[in-house]
Amino acid sequence: MPAQLPADTLPWWKGAVIYQIYPRSFQDSNGDGIGDLRGITDRLDHIADLGADAIWISPFFTSPMRDFGYDIADYCDVDPIFGTLADFDALVARAHALGLKVTIDQVYAHSSDLHDWFAQSRQSRNNDKADWYVWADPKADGTPPCNWQSVFGGPAWTWDARRGQYYMHQFLASQPQLNVHNPAVQDALLAAMRFWLDRGVDGFRLDALNHAMHDPQFRDNPPAPDDGSLRTRPFDYQIKRYSQSHPDVVPFVERIRTLCDEYGAIFTVAEVGGALAEQEMKAYTAGNRRLNSAYGFNFLYTDALTPALVAETVARWPDKPGMGWPSWAFENHDAPRALSRWCAPEYQAAFARLKVTLLMALRGNAILYQGEELGITQVDIPFERLQDPEAIANWPLTLSRDGARTPLPWSVTAAQAGFSSGEPWLPIGEDNIARAVDAQQADPQSLLHFTRAMLALRKRTPALRHGSLEILIADASCLVFRRHTDAQSMLCVFNLGATDREWPIDAPTAGTASLCVNGATIDALPPFGAIIIDERDG
């Protein structure tokens, strides 16, 4: 095991709790039904009181909003529906005053088709930005240059008559693929990153980073073997060997790190999905010249939280030299709410406490999605209210991302649950209104108060924040692991099942309980019970 540094010498992000804000749905300040930057600023006290170390704000940049901000038309400005650059500056100032770091999304795989870069690129084959996007000639029969498919359905190629070529898009046709192989494109993206660093940003989440580069030879992807799972899109029928995950992403990552190092302790985390996610996450974070962290989809789409899943996932990120630092998320703006995936409705209250405890006990950074601290569940959005382009295109087989993007309820009695004075862009969900912040603030036994207590325990316990992790037991329902530093050892015991469990015969019992969840004691594990034991305090 590598020597452990004193806690006060570690960077701020090591073991941080990062609160994800989806700005459209956090707080609306002007009554148009869409959340905005001023709304975020007005509610930052909620996040600071929760005990988070940082916020991550999903895209708020200039955009036609065909993919709700992940189609950027100007990397260096705020979309008017969210406010202005002055509003962003005020948000950063208020966050810093509250002790919160500010991280923002960066989307480097593609832009909007309304970006000035693309408008110029598509005009001809010989202008200054002609090769800033991925263009290719058709085959002899006029069909696309290769068989690549887009994530949202259909070919990853759209014909453009002005150039007489196809352009590539891994997502919507309105999200043309940037040619990040081109050094000039990298320079422009890094200039955009510097723009936000100069405004005081403390870190970046790099969206879909493994989608940023393609095979320049445009070779066909091979077919994926049929594993019996439901395939709702042509994208699911291929192994994405050539359309993404090019090894040249790594040198670009190193350029990002070099820039961020100029500004001190800037945090960088990559979002990585797909069949090669683990391999790429490790490549993007290896050593001291690449990104600080990465997170994948290990927990985001699974239909059950099991000891085996946790044990197998954390075992892939051992505490050894050269290994990157992981980040974990149980929920985000793309994935169904975890409580709706992982337990029956009658167990949700107890499971929510267990889930928060586990997330905060894992080694790595914990990313808490807005509403997790309230136990928000997935909202069933009727087809006529859908906003998500993927769900609309693949209705009814693709679960709508909208159901996890619904507005946050702040008040049980206020109009629109205190989110807005106008009609919200998505329905809030009647079940979730009862989970509003003000109702839970008034109840000392609420999940909100419990989450604050759990974050406080993590913050004051070095072993939980940045210690090593050793799995001791992972059977059908019981998970036991130890978090350890040179000065502290914490035993974390979980019953992930809905029935009583005997205390694991192999689990130690010496020490003092620092936290008991759902009636657990030092020798009893009721359904969804958990206990964290300080082994050196007994």
Give the tens place of pLDDT for each residue, 398-442: 677 999 999 999 999 999 999 999 999 999 999 999 999 999 999
Are residues 61 and 190 part of one domain? yes
**Structure-token pair, residue 392:** 């609309």
Are residues 375 and 350 part of one domain? yes
Q: Is residue 172 part of a domain?
A: no
The last residue of a domain, from among 424, 456, 488: 456
Say whether pLDDT at 384 is over 50.
yes
Q: What letters, b where the CB count within 10 A reaches 16 and e where it falls short, cover 213-247?
A: bbbeebeebeeeeeeeeeeebebeebebebbbbbe
Q: Is residue 40 part of a domain?
A: yes
* CATH code, domain with 187: 3.20.20.80
| Cβ atoms of residues 448 and 436 within 8 Å | no
Number of domains in the chain: 2
Share of the chain above pLDDT 90, in %: 88
Are residues 79 and 205 part of one domain? yes
For residue 389, name the pLDDT band (cuts at 50, 70, 90).
Answer: confident
Are residues 507 and 405 part of one domain? no
Which of helix, strand or coil describes residue 116? helix
pLDDT at residue 65, as a whole number: 96
Are residues 354 and 474 part of one domain? no
| Cβ atoms of residues 448 and 473 within 8 Å | no
Say whether pLDDT at 240 is over 80.
yes
Say whether pLDDT at 3 is over 60.
no
| Cβ atoms of residues 79 and 61 within 8 Å | yes
Say whether pLDDT at 509 is over 80.
no
Say whether pLDDT at 277 is over 60.
yes
Q: Is residue 306 part of a domain?
A: yes
Say whether pLDDT at 198 is over 90.
yes
Residue 470: strand pairing partners: 482
Are residues 239 and 336 part of one domain? yes
Task: Pick the range with the lowest mean pLDDT from 118-122, 280-284, 317-321, 338-342.
Answer: 317-321
Task: Pick the range with the lowest mean pLDDT from 53-67, 300-314, 354-368, 509-523.
Answer: 509-523
CA distances (Å), 260 to each of 19, 58, 73, 263, 265, in order?
21, 19, 23, 5, 8
Are residues 384 and 351 part of one domain? yes
pLDDT at residue 490, as a whole number: 96
Give the tens place of pLDDT for each residue, 323-370: 999 999 999 999 999 999 999 999 999 999 999 999 999 999 999 999
The last residue of a domain, from among 397, 421, 456: 456
- The position carrying tokens 């009636």 is 519
Rounded distance, CA 47 to CA 51, Å? 7
Task: Enter the DSSP assignment of 193.
Answer: H
Q: Is residue 382 part of a domain?
A: yes
Domain of 498 in residue numbering reads as 468-534
Give the tens place of pLDDT for each residue, 12-69: 999 999 999 999 999 999 999 999 999 999 999 999 999 999 999 999 999 999 999 9
Are residues 435 and 340 part of one domain? yes
CA distances (Å), 321 to each of 114, 254, 285, 292, 326, in order?
44, 18, 12, 14, 14
Q: Is 64 exposed, middle or buried (0-12, 13-18, 19+ CB in 10 A)?
A: middle
For all residues of the chain together, what is the average pLDDT?
Answer: 94
For residue 2, name the pLDDT band (cuts at 50, 70, 90).
Answer: very low
Rounded distance, CA 175 to CA 188, Å? 17
pLDDT at residue 257, as a whole number: 97
Are residues 483 and 445 part of one domain? no
* Amino acid (1-letter code) at residue 49: D
Q: Is residue 503 part of a domain?
A: yes
Are residues 420 and 273 part of one domain? yes
pLDDT at residue 400, as a whole number: 79
| Cβ atoms of residues 400 and 386 within 8 Å | yes
User: How much is the average pLDDT of 460-488?
Assistant: 96
Among candidate residues 294, 402, 426, the one with its CA nearest the CA of residue 67: 402
pTM of the model: 0.95
* CATH code, domain with 511: 2.60.40.1180
Q: Is residue 267 part of a domain?
A: yes
The strand pair at 61-62 and 54-57 is best described as unpaired
Give the tens place of pLDDT for each residue, 147-174: 999 998 899 999 999 999 999 999 999 9
| Cβ atoms of residues 475 and 502 within 8 Å | no
Residues taking part in catalysis: 207, 262
Q: How many CA atoms lie within 13 A of 73 on its CB side?
A: 14
- The position carrying tokens 């036994």 is 445
pLDDT at residue 1, as a whole number: 43
pLDDT at residue 506, as a whole number: 72
The last residue of a domain, from among 404, 422, 456: 456
Q: What 3 state SS string does 391-452 have?
A: HHHCCCCCCCHHHHCCCCCCCCCCHHHHCCCCCCCCCCCHHHHCCCHHHHHCCCCCHHHHHH
The alpha carbon torsion through 284, 288, 289, 292 (nearest 10 deg) reads 50
Task: Give me the DSSP letters along 45-114.
Answer: HHHHHHT-SEEEEPP-EE---TTTTSS-SEEEEE-TTT--HHHHHHHHHHHHHTT-EEEEEEE-SB--TT
Are residues 223 and 105 part of one domain? yes
Give the tens place of pLDDT for each residue, 88-109: 999 999 999 999 999 999 999 9
Are residues 18 and 63 part of one domain? yes
